[in-house]
């Protein structure tokens, strides 16, 4: 007996009938597809904000990079290290070295007010004073326009993100820091990382402008290898001269982005969940009306000997198909609308602006389509069961 | 009214479809509620700003401090009623996730400047009598179950005490309430004199000043004069109305808010579109019956109102349920745990939501209703 084959061919033919009748139910079908496309677009769209933010943070942390702050400080802004401490840190074991010395950059981190291009209102733009090793302790740093500033001179370079988001940061313009005016001589990129939101100057120049004497806020270093981190950390934390907190770059940036990622994902999921509930109702309505419109058809099929199971499966297939179409449309819309959308926001931990681009990743798209499938299955299940349970004789009498 | 039963029976005819439509309308309005609460949380502070208050901060950036001596100089500027200052303390209670603001202030001037904070007079007295005293807003007090008399240790990554310790202990002497529900009651305020004496460095420097001006219409002129007063000093100032200051802060968060709210708006209308489509379909299916009603003497006006009443009943019911549900959930507080101190459902938006639900009923009902009205009885009956 060719049971399974027969069963599959039953499903195939019932599904085919269902699909052929779609044009007659245009309104309801379109409503379902639009509804589900909406859910997926929103889910993917909102989460792409969080994904983009996270990405900016992740590419910033290289596996062999580390950052040293004063112990108890949760961001560079509130940290402080004197010259002696930064020397001890630069001499610690495990640091990568070049002919010019260890790859350690003692840095200052302050903010200055600059107007946002989009609104014209002031924003806290980070201004970092760096030492010569800064370009090597971070990955993928490149000057893309103009030149590097000259050490010891009152000049700055600007991250590509900052140059795009805030006014007055083009090469050739000048930024005003208190009574000083510093020309912008170059623009750099950092593969989309956090540094792109910043303005950089020579640490010594910034110390003088801010009356910081010879003190710093953080030391960024590059290690020999990712494995050298533990030894580096232990030697610093066990040193009685120092009271510091040592983190891997990646952990530090993950911590820095936590608040905002939490905010966006909490809200994003909440919204998408509510929407999904709404879309399930929409899908249920569509499939119920599909079943109602085909009561006689289904009853005729059952009378001819088609099984209840085949009817259930094929109705669910139909609903799933509609949902997937909606999902793909929604994902596509989200991709077109949001991928690589540049913006900036306030990163509360560092009290400063961070520029980043939304990222519609494959993973997000897959998640969106999975939600669509779930909505389709739930929306198809109950109407399908009702169809299969229809008393055949009564349904046929409706003819 | 005598047709209410008829309307009700029509809605009950396809119970499942009616309830599904109702539920999707409910969901749409819950979403609407969240949308307004989020909006409120992110940009609502602007509306609470005092029109007669100016904020003075250091010109380069708000993280740069200003000498406390500026206060007396500002008070002498014509048009200035009085001024007072605050400083960002940025402390941590137990865990950095427990975020709330703590600032050192001058108690009397502070409360005079901010009448939106209400503190019982005997608690004010206790604050003036207790050097390490602090007052905390109702919301934060409830969040951490603090009572008057509690000692609260707060770690400050920014401010060390003279002995090098970074743990500051405050005595809770008062709990203040907001004048209305738009007032942020999450912050803790403590005494500046204690703060300045105990801190290890930059004594005599404060974060920013708030000025009360005598005539709000002179805000721009006074702001200019204040900035002129400190021009060419090591600490130049930037003065602006409190509203503009808060707005600039909200804008720092950027267009993410705008993006999220436009997405939500889109969603809201998509759901309504879908629900509306279903409702219109339900009326169209009954063309024949409407013909019968006309045949037995219902006027056009009665037919239109019958159909409209049905659709409005459904949307208003859904809208009320959804808004009510949103209200209940939102009143339970901020879902992010302290990040959004002003998370609540403004009454104005509640009314707007209610208005939208009526409008929705009208829009979805009007086209099928008009169709039904124009229907010729003979045509309608033929369709039966």
The per-residue pLDDT for range A257-312, each reduced to its tens digit, is 777 777 778 777 777 787 778 778 777 877 777 777 777 788 888 888 888 888 88
Inspect the interface and report whether the beta carbons of A267 and B16 lie closer than 8 Å. no
Inspect the interface and report whether the beta carbons of B264 and A343 lie closer than 8 Å. no
Residue at A137 is within a domain: yes
CA distance A248 to B294: 79
CB A356 within 8 A of CB A253: no
Neighboring chain B residues of A72 at a CB cutoff of 8 Å = 155, 157, 166
- End residue of a domain, out of A242, A271, A294: A242
Inspect the interface and report whether the beta carbons of B336 and A177 lie closer than 8 Å. no
Parts of chain B with a pLDDT under 50: none
Helix (H) or strand (E) holding A144: strand A142-146
CB A187 within 8 A of CB A158: yes
Residue at A390 is within a domain: yes
CA atoms within 13 A on the CB side of A387: 35
Residues A214 and A137 in one domain: yes
Inspect the interface and report whether the beta carbons of B24 and A282 lie closer than 8 Å. yes
Q: Which domain holds residue A29?
A: 3-58+258-397
CA distance B362 to B7: 15
Instruction: Determine how many CB atoms are found less than 10 A away from the CB of residue B93.
Output: 19
Helix (H) or strand (E) holding A253: helix A249-256
Q: Is B338 left (phi over 0), alpha (psi -120 to 50) or beta?
A: left
Neighboring chain A residues of B155 at a CB cutoff of 8 Å = 72
In the DSSP assignment, the letter for residue B164 is S
- Residue A2's pLDDT is 52
Residues in chain B, overall count: 384
CA distance B120 to chain A (A): 33
CA distance A309 to A108: 70
- Residue B140's pLDDT is 92
B277 touches A: beta carbon within 8 Å: yes
Residues B147-156: contacts with CB within 8 Å, 24+ apart? B147/B172, B148/B123, B148/B172, B148/B173, B148/B174, B148/B175, B152/B93, B152/B188, B153/B93, B154/B89, B154/B91, B154/B92, B154/B93, B154/B102, B154/B188, B155/A72, B155/B91, B155/B92, B155/B93, B156/B89, B156/B90, B156/B91, B156/B92
Search chain B and give the residue with CA nearest A69: B157
What is the SS3 assignment for A3? helix
CA distance A363 to A47: 11
Neighboring chain B residues of A284 at a CB cutoff of 8 Å = 20
- Total of domains in chain A: 2
Q: What percent of chain A has pLDDT over 70?
A: 99
Considering only residues 4 to 63 of chain B, which have any Cβ-Cβ distance to chain A shorter than 8 Å?
Answer: 16-17, 20-21, 23-24, 27-28, 30-31, 34, 38, 59-63
Of B14, B282, B265, B24, which is closest to residue A375 (Cα–Cα)? Answer: B24
Residue at A249 is within a domain: no
CA distance B271 to A226: 51
B266 touches A: beta carbon within 8 Å: yes
CB B63 within 8 A of CB A351: yes
Residues A232 and A100 in one domain: yes
CA distance A99 to chain B (A): 37
CA distance B338 to B342: 9
Structure tokens at B146: 């603090």
Of A2-11, A108-117, B297-306, the poorest mean pLDDT is in A2-11
CB A362 within 8 A of CB A69: no
pTM of the model: 0.79
- Residue A1's pLDDT is 43
- End residue of a domain, out of A242, A274, A293: A242
CA distance B374 to chain A (A): 23
Residue at A383 is within a domain: yes
CA distance A200 to A138: 13
CB A192 within 8 A of CB A222: no
Residue at A169 is within a domain: yes
- End residue of a domain, out of A209, A242, A275: A242
Per-residue exposure over A139-166, b if at least 16 CB sit within 10 Å of its own CB, e if not: bebeeebbeebeeeebbbbbbbbbbbbb
Alpha helices in chain B (DSSP H): 4-13, 15-43, 45-48, 70-75, 107-113, 121-129, 138-144, 192-198, 219-229, 242-253, 256-284, 287-295, 300-331, 347-374, 377-382
CA distance B171 to chain A (A): 23
Q: Is A168 exposed, middle or buried (0-12, 13-18, 19+ CB in 10 A)?
A: middle
CB A197 within 8 A of CB A158: no
Residues A262 and A227 in one domain: no
pLDDT > 60? residue A125: yes
CA angle centred on A246, ends A243 and A250, rounded to 5°: 160
Reported as a pLDDT band with limits 50, 70 and 90, residue A24 is confident
Search chain A and give the residue with CA nearest B166: A72
Alpha helices in B285-346 (DSSP H): 287-295, 300-331
Residues A134 and A105 in one domain: yes
Residue at A63 is within a domain: no
Search chain B and give the residue with CA nearest A268: B260
CB B74 within 8 A of CB B229: yes
Search chain B and give the residue with CA nearest A42: B263
Neighboring chain A residues of B247 at a CB cutoff of 8 Å = 121
Inspect the interface and report whether the beta carbons of A77 and B63 lie closer than 8 Å. yes
B247 touches A: beta carbon within 8 Å: yes
| Among candidates A46, A267, A343 on the partner chain, residue whose Cβ is nearest the Cβ of B254 | A343
Structure tokens at B311: 């659709």
| Among candidates B24, B61, B259 on the partner chain, residue whose Cβ is nearest the Cβ of A281 | B24
CA distance A378 to A372: 10
Residues A18 and A80 in one domain: no
CA distance A73 to chain B (A): 5
Inspect the interface and report whether the beta carbons of B339 and A259 lie closer than 8 Å. yes
Residues A83 and A229 in one domain: yes
| Among candidates A49, A74, A271 on the partner chain, residue whose Cβ is nearest the Cβ of B256 | A49
Instruction: Determine how many CB atoms are found less than 10 A away from the CB of residue B234.
Output: 11
CA distance B71 to B133: 23
Residues A270 and A223 in one domain: no
Of A203-207, A349-353, B146-150, the poorest mean pLDDT is in A349-353
CA distance A92 to A238: 12
User: Cα–Cα distances in Å, from B114 out to A49, B109, B177, B180, B342?
Assistant: 37, 9, 12, 13, 17
CA distance B33 to B43: 16
CA atoms within 13 A on the CB side of A179: 11
Q: Is B232 exposed, middle or buried (0-12, 13-18, 19+ CB in 10 A)?
A: exposed
Residues A32 and A102 in one domain: no
Interface test with B, best of A28, A36, A37, A38 (most B CBs within 10 A): A38
Instruction: Determine how many CB atoms are found less than 10 A away from the CB of residue B220.
Output: 12
Give the orientation angle of helix B300-331 with respect to helix B15-43, to 10 degrees.
Answer: 50
CA distance B69 to chain A (A): 19
Inspect the interface and report whether the beta carbons of A46 and B263 lie closer than 8 Å. yes
Search chain A and give the residue with CA nearest B278: A28
Of A65-69, A149-153, B271-275, B350-354, the poorest mean pLDDT is in B271-275
Residue at A251 is within a domain: no
Search chain B and give the residue with CA nearest A75: B157
Residues A389 and A307 in one domain: yes
Inspect the interface and report whether the beta carbons of A271 and B59 lie closer than 8 Å. no
Residue at A181 is within a domain: yes
Residues in chain A, overall count: 399
- Residue B207's pLDDT is 94
Considering only residues 182 to 221 of chain B, which have any Cβ-Cβ distance to chain A shorter than 8 Å?
Answer: none
- Residue A259's pLDDT is 75
The per-residue DSSP string of A297-315 comes to HHHHHHHHT--HHHHHHHH
Residues A216 and A295 in one domain: no
CA distance A395 to A311: 15
Residues A49 and A77 in one domain: no
Per-residue exposure over A183-192, b if at least 16 CB sit within 10 Å of its own CB, e if not: ebbbbbbbeb
Residues A286 and A311 in one domain: yes
CA distance A166 to A359: 21
CA distance B233 to chain A (A): 9
Which residues are CB-neighbours of B233 under 8 A, at least 6 positions away? none
- The residue that leads in pLDDT, A102 or A5, is A102
Of A67, A111, A88, which is closest to residue A346 (Cα–Cα)? Answer: A111
Alpha helices in A305-360 (DSSP H): 308-338
């Amino acid at each position: 007996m060719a049971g399974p084959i027969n069963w599959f061919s039953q499903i195939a033919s019932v599904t085919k009938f269902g699909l052929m009748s779609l044009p007659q139910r245009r309104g309801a079908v379109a409503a379902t597809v639009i509804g589900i496309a909406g859910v997926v677009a929103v889910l993917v769209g909102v989460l792409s904000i969080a994904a983009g933010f996270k990405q900016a943070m992740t590419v910033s942390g290289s596996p062999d990079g580390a950052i040293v702050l004063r112990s108890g400080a949760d961001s560079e802004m509130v940290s402080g290290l004197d010259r002696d401490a930064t020397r001890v840190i630069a001499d610690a074991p495990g640091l990568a070295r070049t002919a010019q010395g260890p790859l350690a950059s003692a840095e200052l981190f302050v903010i200055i007010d600059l107007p946002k291009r989009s609104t014209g209102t002031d924003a806290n733009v980070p201004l970092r004073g760096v030492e010569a090793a800064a370009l090597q302790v971070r990955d993928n740093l490149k000057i893309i326009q103009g030149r590097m500033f000259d050490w010891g001179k009152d000049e700055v370079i600007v991250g590509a993100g900052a140059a795009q988001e805030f006014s007055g940061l083009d090469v050739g313009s000048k930024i005003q820091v208190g009574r000083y005016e510093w020309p912008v001589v170059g623009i750099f990129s950092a593969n989309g990382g956090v540094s792109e939101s910043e303005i950089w100057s020579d640490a010594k120049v910034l110390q003088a402008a801010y009356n910081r004497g010879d003190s710093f806020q953080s030391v960024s270093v590059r290690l020999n290898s990712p494995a050298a981190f533990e030894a580096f950390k232990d030697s610093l934390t066990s040193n009685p001269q120092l009271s510091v907190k040592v983190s891997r770059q990646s952990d530090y940036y993950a911590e820095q982005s936590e608040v905002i990622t939490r905010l966006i994902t909490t809200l994003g999921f909440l919204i998408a969940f509510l929407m999904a509930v709404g879309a399930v109702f929409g899908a249920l309505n569509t499939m119920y009306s599909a079943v109602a419109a085909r009561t006689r058809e289904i009853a005729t099929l059952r009378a001819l000997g088609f099984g209840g199971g085949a009817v259930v499966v094929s109705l669910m297939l139909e609903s799933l198909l509609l949902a997937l179409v909606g999902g793909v449309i929604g994902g596509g819309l989200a991709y077109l609308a949001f991928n690589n959308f540049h913006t900036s926001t306030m990163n509360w931990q560092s009290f400063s602006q961070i520029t980043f681009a939304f990222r519609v990743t494959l993973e997000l798209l897959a998640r969106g389509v999975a939600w669509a499938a779930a909505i389709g299955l739930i929306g198809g299940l109950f109407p399908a069961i009702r169809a299969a349970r229809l008393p055949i004789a009564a349904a046929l009498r409706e003819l | 009214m005598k047709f209410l039963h008829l309307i009700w029976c029509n809605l009950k005819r396809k119970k499942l479809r009616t309830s599904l439509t109702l539920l999707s309308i409910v969901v749409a309005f819950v979403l609407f509620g969240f949308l307004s609460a989020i909006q409120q949380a992110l940009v609502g502070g602007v509306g609470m700003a005092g029109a007669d208050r100016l904020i003075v901060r250091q010109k380069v950036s708000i993280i740069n401090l200003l000498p406390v001596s500026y206060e007396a100089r500002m008070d002498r500027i014509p048009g200035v009623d009085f001024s007072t200052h605050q400083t960002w303390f940025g402390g941590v209670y137990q865990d950095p996730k427990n975020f709330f603001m703590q600032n050192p202030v001058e108690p009397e001037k502070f409360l005079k400047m901010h009448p939106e904070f209400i503190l019982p007079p005997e608690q004010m007295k206790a604050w003036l009598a207790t050097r390490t005293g602090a007052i905390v807003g109702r919301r934060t007090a409830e969040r951490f179950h603090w009572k008057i008399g509690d000692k609260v240790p707060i770690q400050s990554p920014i401010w060390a005490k003279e002995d090098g310790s970074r743990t500051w202990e405050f005595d809770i002497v008062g709990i203040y309430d907001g004048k209305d529900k738009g007032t942020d009651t999450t912050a803790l305020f403590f005494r500046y004199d204690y703060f300045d004496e105990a801190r290890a460095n930059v004594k005599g420097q404060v974060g920013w000043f708030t000025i009360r001006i005598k005539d709000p219409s002179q805000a721009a002129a006074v702001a200019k004069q204040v900035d002129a007063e400190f021009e060419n000093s090591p600490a130049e100032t930037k003065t602006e109305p409190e509203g503009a200051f808060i707005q600039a802060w909200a804008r720092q968060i950027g267009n993410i808010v705008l993006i999220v709210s436009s997405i939500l708006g889109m969603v809201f209308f998509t759901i309504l579109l879908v629900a509306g489509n279903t409702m219109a379909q339900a009326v169209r299916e009954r063309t024949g019956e409407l013909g019968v009603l006309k045949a037995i003497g219902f006027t056009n006006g009665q037919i239109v109102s019958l159909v409209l009443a049905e659709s409005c009943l459904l949307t208003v019911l859904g809208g009320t349920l959804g808004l009510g549900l949103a209200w209940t959930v939102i009143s339970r507080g901020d879902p992010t745990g302290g990040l959004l101190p002003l998370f609540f459902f403004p009454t104005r938006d509640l009314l707007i939501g209610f208005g939208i639900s009526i409008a929705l009923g009208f829009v979805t009902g009007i086209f099928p209703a008009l169709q039904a009205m124009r229907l010729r009885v003979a045509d309608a009956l033929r369709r039966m």
